[in-house]
Structure 1
């Protein structure tokens, strides 16, 4: 049985400009890039699946 907290690598390419924005946001908000991406994916999926208003 796979643990819900088991991490896997996700490789994506983004525009250099977007990466810089995300890095600045994470620095300003004391957040890791890993946590930002996980939160962004989770929030987007919730929204697309109709779980949030």
Structure 2
């Protein structure tokens, strides 16, 4: 849960920074990348939990 919070805060800060300079496309792709990374990290954690059992 904390990882999600950190990723979303980072996402908003960086997206705001890019939008401030008018680079919407870069901001969009960065958010897509960050969401994908969160998903991948979550999947890895899920599989690690399954392995321990």
Task: Place the TM-score, normalised by the shorter chain, in its bin.
Answer: 0.3 to 0.5
Select the structure with the greater relative contact order (CA < 8 A; seq sep ≥ 6): 2
Bigger proportion of residues as helix: 2
TM-score (normalizing by structure 1): 0.40
Kindly name which structure, 1 or 2, has the bigger radius of gyration based on alpha carbons. 2
